[in-house]
Amino acid sequence: MLLEAERVATVLRSLPEATLRTAFLRDYLRSDDSAEVARTLDSLCAAGARAEGAAREPMLAVVMTLAGLADDPALDELGRQAAVLSLPSLGRLLRRAPELNSDEPILRTPDYGAGRELSLGERKALARRPSRAAFDKLLRDPHPLVINQLLENPRLTEDDIVRVAARRPANIEAQRAIARTAWLCRPRVRMSPIHNPGTPSAIAIPLLAACTRPELTEIRSSSECSFPLREIALELLGLRTVPPPSAEQ
């Protein structure tokens, strides 16, 4: 199984973009041999959890894939295999915490200043070529098709994404959409849903594995993060390799 994990890690490192790496893993995750897939992902997660340099990039791809799939039924089988085969590193990322409120908040369509509520088609068209003035309203739109269209807009900035991920009450559809993008490569974007109490645990928990020691320490002491997130952060801190002191110390 170690050879299979090394093969998958090599493939992931050879792919130039995060979107290609997560696409590869999504296909791999649906392979016929779910036990082999689970063991391989567990090996990648275990190596990444120890902060081994070459292992960090493949593990980040696993983290992004799991967060992007979130409540996909394919993860149910993966979680079953992790439990049956006693795979702690993968099982940790598939752990689910009780949600603070199982009902998603009702978010209203923002007032676009047209004197009436814009149709879905009009809002999607606006998201394709918005002015900067329209971004604020589009970022608050609750419809997933509008959010997906907006996420493809090249004028969108990291600050915009962070604002959406951090907004309360949480726009769950927007968070699910962000979790399927390469924006998760950005540390600020990953940390925003973690610190948002309304983020589904299926998105927030996998992201913990990509955090640095200082970020995990921050999460561990944060009153905004749920107890399960703080508990997993503590577990990951125990696995992280402590960097050696510099020569100047």
CA distance 56 to 200: 24
Residue 19 binned pLDDT confidence (cut-offs 50, 70, 90)? very high
Average pLDDT, the chain: 88
DSSP secondary structure of 152-200? T-TT--HHHHHHHHH-SS--HHHHHHHTTSGGGGSHHHHHHHHT-TTS-
Q: Each residue of 151-181: pLDDT tens digit?
A: 988 888 999 999 999 998 888 989 999 999 9
**Residue 111 confidence (pLDDT):** 85
Alpha-carbon distance values, 86 to 35, 80, 96, 181 (Å): 11, 10, 17, 30
10 Å CB burial of residue 239 (0-12, 13-18, 19+) is: middle
Tokens 């068209």 correspond to what residue?
A: 125
Q: What separation, in Å, do the N-terminal and C-terminal C-alpha atoms of the chain show?
A: 41
Whether 100 and 54 have beta carbons less than 8 Å apart is answered as no
CA distance 242 to 237: 9
Q: How far apart are CA 166 and CA 6, in angstroms?
A: 36
What's the pLDDT tens digit per position in 75-95? 999 999 999 999 999 999 999
- The region, left, alpha or beta by phi > 0 then psi within -120 to 50, assigned to residue 115 is left
Instruction: Give mean pLDDT, residues 31-48.
Output: 92
Q: How confident is the model at residue 9 (pLDDT cuts 50, 70, 90)?
A: very high
What is the pLDDT, as a whole number, of residue 247? Answer: 47
**Looking at the predicted structure, is the pLDDT value of residue 103 above 70?**
no
What is the mean pLDDT of the segment spanning 185-205? 94
- State the Cα–Cα distance between residues 146 and 237, nearest whole angstrom: 38
- DSSP of 82-140, one letter per residue? HHHTT-HHHHHHT--PPPS-SSPP--PPP--SSSSPPPHHHHHHHHHS--HHHHHHHTT
pTM of the model: 0.87
Is the pLDDT confidence value at 96 over 70? yes
- Is pLDDT of 65 > 60? yes
The angle formed by the CA atoms of residues 229, 180 and 109, to the nearest 5 degrees, is: 90
Is the Cβ–Cβ distance between 51 and 60 less than 8 Å?
no
pLDDT per position as a tens digit, 127-157:
988 777 788 888 888 888 998 998 988 888 9
Percentage of the chain lying above the pLDDT 70 cut: 92
Cα separation, 147 vs 177, in Å, equals: 7
